[in-house]
Amino acid sequence: MPPLFLLPVVLVLFAAADASPAACRNATCGVHTVAYPFWLQNSSASALDCGYPGLGLLCLNNTTLILPIRTHQYKVLDIEYGTHTISLTDADVEYYSTNSSCPHLHANLTIDDNSWLQLAASDSNIAFLYNCKSNDSWTSAWKLTGCAAESENSSYVFLDDSITGEAYYYECETVVVAPVLDIHKKAMVGVYESLPPANRSFGEVLSAGFKLTYSAHSDKCGKCERTNGWCGYRHNETSTTMDFTCFCEEGPTKSHCGSTGKKKTIIGVVGGLSGVLVLGAIATVFFVRKRKHKKVTSSSKLLKYSGSGGTPRSMGGDMESGSVKDLQTHLFSYEELEEATDSFNDNRELGDGGFGTVYKGILRDGRVVAVKRLYNNSYRRVEQFVNEAAILSRLRHPNLVMFYGCTSSHSRELLLVYEFVANGTVADHLHGHRAQERALSWPLRLNIAVESAAALHYLHAIEPPIVHRDVKTTNILLDADFHVKVADFGLSRLFPLDVTHVSTAPQGTPGYVDPEYHQCYQLTDKSDVYSFGVVLVELISSKPAVDITRQRNEINLAGMAINRIQKSQLEELVDLELGYDSDPATKKMMTMVAELAFRCLQQNGEMRPPIKEVLEVLKGVQELCVVEKDGDKDKDPPLSPDTVHAQWDSRQTTPNTSQ
């Protein structure tokens, strides 16, 4: 009997089930995914108990997500379902950006004690006191300029909210306490504690927003979704609390679907028909697979030749490969990742990584992830994917992207699953589509350099060492707090302890490739150092590594940097808006980083410093302001451009043997 003959019977049985909870499925608004415990107010979900009260979001023009808190609105920057945090900024963020000389807040953030939302540990407060009687005793305050409606009065900013009680005595017109990310506040004043920061810094800190944490029954929700339910809540009439509820086709339950009598009845009826259906399905699958067998070569079949089985390979080749089946990591099913990425929808595409396209996905347990999918089934690319999985499964470092797992060798395709890093790449912020935000101040850039170097030092120091081989600003991701996550190990190579150089075909990205490696096919840890030198130049200049609109001999940023530094023309290379001309401390630090970059960009790999030394130098630059503040005269002062010029010229002929 054809299996399709029985399909109407099954459909009639399931038609009796309540399908209305389907309105609680995950929704989208622009780049954001709205999932439990959040819900869209302007959708059919608003009529159901899809999310928690107070967590209803507004989707404006299908692009902007708004969270109303009391009478004020906050723009959603990101929702991290895995860590139960939501990043917000005041809906007037554009006002702060365009009127940054005196950012005027209109409302305090007030959160009830019984709210599902609470301030995150990464937040701290700053207080704005507007139109107060002038008070010279507030030595810890910074005075704002350009505020309207002021004559003899003044407006102030305090880096905490402990001073707000005195506002009454000085007849301040308005007092507003605003939460901000602590890292941004520290970046703003940590390097310039003895100097008033620019007024625009406060507008930038407000624009960067803050984080709130929320409570959620994530374990119950994951179980509910795995049984094809939708997470929500129900009001408990007896205890006046909100109870977790799993909405199923057959009705709501308190845990997961498949436990009610109605469901059991349906399963019993369908079970009686399952034998015929299974037989028909098996026959169909058999003929389909037989017909496709000669046309399709899957990734899993190719994996047999990149692991321990299949075609014999030389020892040199084995060094560059791994086997997924040997990994101590979580294995995902292809169907789960297909569902998480909405069938690899183009709207979920994040970009192209090494040998694969990366998609944003939401797992059934609520975690937001990045899923890398193979471009095609070529043997070489599958080998690279297996290599990347083998390497990532071993690595644990706060500045390396977290590897969650992959599909098995029996999957339709080989997919890799990483943590989702929401704040884009360093390249995006330096000279990409987010450059206009000017979010990366000099202290943040310096911290990015330190954390990136720390990640590379970790890779070079483990046994056996690992050379990344594709260090670039598009492979340095930033989380919501602007901490570094180095990504994309598609070109990585295990580096055996008893081999100094590894010969392999040159790969990498133009503008970053070690010239010695490109010419001689010699791979060492100093190849990463050269690429990192280009990254350092990007951080101080905000220029891309390759720009064909520049003069021919300066198309590559590395060549341009060497030329400018040797001619003592650093001011023509650096981004002057970072404070190079206006702040002596910043000029010294940027000069020291330029010197370090010059050393990293030496043609001869032996003359480049090891990454450990690079990290130590960068940490020393970070401590420069502390040294100056304490008046430590025993420290050697930073080199002047002229002194640096002379020493850099000499270093080009003197190998660096320090390890």
d(CA 334, CA 322): 20
- What sign does the dihedral 423-429-432-437 (CA atoms) show? positive
For the question of residue 113 being annotated catalytic, the response is no
Which position among 90, 428, 470, 488 bears the catalytic label? 470
* Tokens standing for residue 321: 């490969």
Strands (E), 215-348: 230-235, 242-248, 251-253, 330-332
- Residue 110 CA neighbour count, 13 Å, CB half: 7
β-pairing, 330-332 vs 403-407, is parallel
- Matching residue, tokens 């625009």: 200
* Tokens standing for residue 579: 């404070």
635 annotated ligand binder: no
- Matching residue, tokens 């007037």: 92
d(CA 610, CA 545): 22
User: What are the residue ranges of helices labelled H in 37-170?
Assistant: 93-98
* Tokens standing for residue 326: 């040997």
**CB atoms closer than 10 angstroms to residue 509:** 18
- What sign does the dihedral 244-247-251-257 (CA atoms) show? negative
Which amino acid type is present at position 278?
A: V
Q: What is the 3-state secondary structure (H, E, C) of 466-509?
A: EECCCCCHHHEEECCCCCEEECCCCCCEECCCCCCCEECCCCCC
Catalytic residues: 470
Binding residue ranges: 372
Q: Binding site for ATP: which residues? A: 372
